[in-house]
Every structure is written in C-alpha cells, then in structure tokens.
Amino acid sequence: MIDESFWNEKIKQFEVPVFRCPICNMGFVLSEKESFIKKTTTRSEIIFDLTSDERDFHGHFVSISKCNNPNCGEIMTIAGQTDLLYAGQFIEDSNENGDYTFQGCKISYTVNYINPAPNIFVWPINTPNEVIDIIKESFSLFWVDENSCGNKIRTAIEKLLDSEKVERQILTKNGETKYLDLHQRIEKFKNKNRDVTNRLLALKWIGNQASHNEFKLDRNELSDAYRILELCLIDLYDKTRVKLDRLANDINIKKGIR
C-alpha cells in the first residue's frame, strides 16, 4: 500500500523522509549526518534582508542515505528544497495596529530527486517483468517530472495488455490491417476482466492528461493512479486469495462440513 505521507506534495516533512530500501525491500534508508548538506539560497537571503521575515528563507539540501539492513547497506542520494514553515502560534502584538508576530518556524524538506528511487508500491511476485521495468522507470520520474511519470504509467498499461495477449492490430473485413489505439485495446480486455478494464480506462485518462503539457499532473493525481494500478496488478497476478480459498475449502472438507 502507498504511504501518502511520502508522496503527497502538500505534506511538508520537518525531517528528511525515511524510505524503505528499493534494493532489499527490508531495510530503511536513513540520512547520515556526516553526508547531509543544506544551504540557503542567496536570493532568499537578499529578500530576508528587505522583509526580516524568516519565512522568506528557502534553500536546497542533499543527503547521502544508507540502508540500515546490515545485509544490504545500499546507498541512496536524496535532494530537494528547504523552506521555513510556521510551526508555532500567531501572537497578537500590543501595538495599535493589531499586528501579529509570527513565532515558531521549522525547516521543512520537499524531495525533488532520489536515486535509486524507492518503490511507491510493491507489485505481486507474478507481475510480468516488462511491466515491472516500466513501473520502476515511472518511480524515478515521479520526483522530477509528473507528466513524464504519467506517460510511463500509460506505457505500463500497454505492456500489461501485451502480457495479457491483447492484440495491437486486427484485420478488417476488407483484409486491411487496422492498428488499435489504447482505448480500443482496453475495451477488448473487458471480456476477460471487466473490473480491471474499468480501472485501466481510468489510468488511460490520466495518461492522456500527461501527454498534454498544458494539463500538468500533480503528485496527488499520480498517487491515485498508482493505487489503481496496484489494484489491477493484485487482481491479475496475486494468487494469494485463490490459494487461501483453496486452503479454506480443504479445511472444510477435512472437518466434514462438505
């Protein structure tokens, strides 16, 4: 399942987020103090000299983080921007203007780059490799270019349909070859799995939006897309439910219920 606190761009972290290691999927990648650097931008320092408002401070950070699994120890580079955000109270001044003093700022960290990128969700073990490869590419783009990430999710749908043997072209009555667009291919999948088809259509619309630069996706929309894609993969390739249903039936038979 997706951890919204990491992916939602509106949630500001007051520390560098901790990610599960994308290599071993067991340990957590922690920021190391000796390799953590943050700097305030020169422009924001100039603005602060004019406004004296701490919230005008902005900067950048870089962290070389390491997986805490002793059998892994993978290194991850994390970079992004820093801001000073209100984390205290507005206190009314005693002057006649009724001004408010801003007290209690904290540094927030917004991640804009990670390499290797963490897995935003974990796919079922039987997911086709060609689909997994595209999903991993989308994870990397999630942090730097939302629309490119959305395009990769659209490509993942194409690869999934290829894996499910949904044809890319058909012969017309006139014997001519007709190439099917993504919408038509998804519709052809309806006879096999109607629920997954409806979800793939929703993902297609998000992918279409990503293809038009005037309609910029945000991380919230991508998070929705990943949740839908994850459920599609679970329905198609996670055999856990089938195995447990068989186990339950076997137990019932042995106990004489059937």
For 63-75, the pLDDT digits (tens) are: 999 999 999 999 9
Pair (134, 112) in one structural domain: no
- State the CB neighbour count (10 A cutoff) for residue 108: 17
Q: Give the pLDDT of residue 71.
A: 95
Pair (138, 221) in one structural domain: yes
Sequence-distant (≥ 6) Cβ neighbours of residue 88 within 8 angstroms: 102, 103, 104, 105
Q: Give the pLDDT of residue 33.
A: 82
Residue located via tokens 């103090």: 33
Pair (138, 192) in one structural domain: yes
Pair (66, 10) in one structural domain: yes
Residue count (the chain): 258
Pair (132, 106) in one structural domain: no
Q: Give the pLDDT of residue 93.
A: 52
86-128 residue pLDDT tens: 665 544 455 555 444 445 677 888 888 999 999 999 899 999 9
pTM of the predicted protein model: 0.78
- How many domains does the structure of the chain reveal? 2
The residue from 73, 100, 119 where one domain ends is 119
| For residue 22, cis peptide bond before it (omega within 30 degrees of 0) | no
Q: Give the pLDDT of residue 237.
A: 93
Pair (112, 54) in one structural domain: yes
Pair (129, 115) in one structural domain: no
CA distances from residue 247 to 251, 252, 253 in whole angstroms, order as listed: 6, 9, 10
Measured on CA atoms in the order 19, 24, 26, 32, is the torsion positive or negative? negative
Would you state the structure tokens that stand for residue 12, as one six-digit string? 């500001």
Q: Give the pLDDT of residue 96.
A: 52
Range of the domain at 146: 124-258
Pair (143, 101) in one structural domain: no
- State the CB neighbour count (10 A cutoff) for residue 103: 12
Alpha-carbon Rg of the chain, whole angstroms?
Answer: 25
Pairing of strands 169-171, 58-67: unpaired
Q: Give the pLDDT of residue 228.
A: 94
| Alpha carbon distance 100, 6 (integer Å) | 32
Low-confidence ranges of the chain (pLDDT < 70): 1-14, 86-104, 213-214, 257-258
Q: Give the pLDDT of residue 177.
A: 82
Q: Give the pLDDT of residue 5.
A: 53
Pair (217, 160) in one structural domain: yes
